Amino acid sequence: MRHCIKGGQIIDPAGGYMGIGDLLMDSGKIIQVAPELSGNEGEIIDARGKMVIPGLIDLHSHLREPGREDEETVASGTKAALKGGFTAIACMANTNPVADNPVVIDYLYHQAKEKGYVKVYPVGAVTKGLQGEELAEMGEMAAAGAVAFSDDGKTITNAAVLRTACEYSTLFNLPILLHEEEPKLAGSGVMHEGYWSTILGLPGIPSLAEDVMTARDLLIAEFTKAKVHFCHVSTKGSVELIRQAKSRGVKVTAEATPHHFSLTDESIQGYDPVYRVSPPLRSAEDVQALKEGLKDGTIDAIATDHAPHTLEEKHREFSLAPTGMIGFETALGVAWTELVETGWLTPEQLVMKMSANPARIINRSGGSLKPGEPADVVLFDPRQDWVLEKSQIVSQSKNSPFIGRRLTGRIEAVWVDGVLKYSKERFA
């Protein structure tokens, strides 16, 4: 069916259209974008006072299927992503069984086709079983449709293995997504090492644990000329290392999560395990560095690291609780509130970091509203305030630190391949 979104403020930096206009979509594609359209335009959607942006793309999420369907499924996770304005998500390999072979990659594509609300792009493991020693079937997974390779929450500590993986990845022109934490330096730490870890009596993880691995892997990437992407960057030191590497021409990209640029380790003073994440929430100085990195382009993307856990798992003693928090449904609201409302980013920059740049990093379509592109479109109200209530969370898990927090900017409607999938709390 033809849909024409009329009178909205179109924010499409990748496509080159910025300003009030109309957008026509039909047969799953963007047909035309212009200041004003007239004629047989199909169903009309009044977007006056709203923004029209490309569908968001998440580079880093966990759907838990196969293996932990009690935490999340492809169906529940993609439904939550849709409500948050995402039209495509990349899901990590730490499933059970691990996505270290083409069979699991095929399974995820099948589940997404049968039950998914948005497009799902599987990420294959770098090493077998995420053990960091023997390369997984990278070539076969690439052929099956893996968009990148990552051992996700496990750092590849064996430098020789990472070098070989980087060299091999260049054959497929796919990036390696890196989690950076030197395990011996991290030790038994459960939060950022600093003032608050001392006050709270909790073992800390120094920023050095991330910085050391970031420095090593930038050198490996520079040597192998491979594409590497740094997941959930959290420290001032890593931001500066990545900035310097980019100036040397290293093929490096990076992401920051909404929780890392909006929360600090001070949040943990109540010992609430919802704030336990990996890498840990850092200091105010680190948060400032992340915002500066987002502003100057050192950090290319904003990703959720959506990590669902059951109530029984998460509501334990802080040191025993698993790491991670959900993020699909709050990512745009948190980013708009923390970055755009405060002047750190323009709306155009935010759209680049949540849509166009992620599409470029994994070399997939999307991120633009140019004619001929997939009709993945979001209608967004940048002025609407809202409060996240637990009862409204669509994700199967509810471990969000933003419950009860007032945010600005809300999703009004989402089209995926030209089909209206979500509109004001209703799902198609």
Catalytic-residue membership of 305: yes
Q: Which amino acid is at 55?
A: G
Annotated catalytic residue, options 300, 305, 376, 381: 305
Give the residue among 145, 82, 84 at the shortest CA–CA distance from 115. 82
Beta carbons of 273 and 318 less than 8 angstroms apart: yes
Give the residue among 17, 15, 51, 59 at the shortest CA–CA distance from 300. 59
Q: Rounded to whole angstroms, how far apart are CA atoms 118 and 116? A: 6
What are the residues whose beta carbons fall under 8 Å from the beta carbon of 374, sequence distance 6 or more? 28, 29, 30, 365, 366, 417, 418
Which token pair is 330?
């709050």
Instruction: State CA 104 to chain mean position distance.
Output: 21
**b/e per residue 168-191 (b: at least 16 CB within 10 A):** bbeebebbbbbbbbbeebbeebbb
Instruction: State CA 132 to chain mean position distance.
Output: 23
Q: Name 163's bridge partners.
A: none
Give the residue among 224, 243, 359 at the shortest CA–CA distance from 301. 359
Q: Which amino acid is at 61?
A: S
Which token pair is 108?
């995820």
Beta carbons of 25 and 418 less than 8 angstroms apart: yes
Beta carbons of 51 and 347 less than 8 angstroms apart: yes
Q: Which amino acid is at 44?
A: I
Give the β-pairing of 43-46 and 3-12. parallel
Q: Rounded to whole angstroms, how far apart are CA atoms 355 and 333? A: 15
Mind telling me the catalytic residues? Answer: 305
